[in-house]
Amino acid sequence: MARPDKAAAVAELTDKFRSSNAAVLTEYRGLTVAQLKTLRRSLGENAQYAVVKNTLTKIAANEAGITLDDQLFAGPTAVAFVTGDPVESAKGLRDFAKENPNLIIKGGVLDGKALSADEIKKLADLESREVLLSKLAGALKGKQSQAASVFQALPSKLVRTVDALRAKQDEQGGAE
């Protein structure tokens, strides 16, 4: 009787691994239900935090084509499945872990690539996608403005050079 339930759980986890941009494995030992509720809220709307069975999660990850280190499955495990911006969820996990040392970030996956706990913390230090895109747009606009200034300077410099040549010719013509 347990087999169909386990098969369904593996299938659900496999779908979550495939449909998410990132997945972060954590150890939640020592956290209360209220703290877990707060953690779920801090991850944002585009992430689901689920307590999972290690063996079923390992099987589901393999079926999804993701290779994870067996050490990630030591102790009680919960996974944050991120469908939106992984930076936002990584920041939520990092900030929550600072306030609640019982939450341990073990590692995870970003676009099919395994990440260590340190790499997830570095991901959390990044600015959000929107901020990075706006900085890029600002930099591109600045380069366009510089190019426009250079292009505007060329004709005016040409006019000044021609005027200087005329003035020089007038002086030479008047001196003879």
Query: In terms of pLDDT, which residue wins out, 132 or 115?
Result: 115
CA dist 154 and 52 (Å) reads 66
This model's pTM is above 0.85: no
Q: What are the structural domain ranges in the chain? A: 1-125, 127-175
Does residue 176 have a pLDDT over 60? no
Convert the pLDDT of each residue in 134-166 to its tens digit. 877 877 777 777 777 777 777 777 778 888 888
Q: How confident is the model at residue 120 (pLDDT cuts 50, 70, 90)?
A: confident
* Residue 115: CA count within 13 A, CB half-sphere: 23
Which residue is associated with the tokens 């992984």? 86
Strand pairing partners for 47?
82
Let me know: does 24 contact 79? Beta carbons within 8 Å.
Answer: yes
Question: DSSP letter at 72?
Answer: G
- The mean pLDDT of 16-42, rounded to a whole number, is 87
- The mean pLDDT of 6-29, rounded to a whole number, is 87
Show the tokens assigned to 148: 């426009």
Q: How confident is the model at residue 172 (pLDDT cuts 50, 70, 90)?
A: confident
Q: Which residues of 40-67 are buried (b: 16+ CB within 10 A; e: fewer)?
A: bebbeeebbbeebbeebbbbbbeebebe
Does residue 1 have a pLDDT over 50? no
Does residue 175 have a pLDDT over 70? no
CATH superfamily of 1-125: Ribosomal protein L10, N-terminal RNA-binding domain (3.30.70.1730)
Convert the pLDDT of each residue in 30-73 to its tens digit. 888 888 888 888 887 888 888 888 888 888 888 888 888 888 88
In the chain, the percentage of residues whose pLDDT exceeds 90 is: 0
**DSSP codes of every residue in 1-68:** -HHHHHHHHHHHHHHHHHH-SEEEEEE-TT--HHHHHHHHHHT-TTEEEEEE-HHHHHHHHHHTT---
- The mean pLDDT of 69-97, rounded to a whole number, is 85
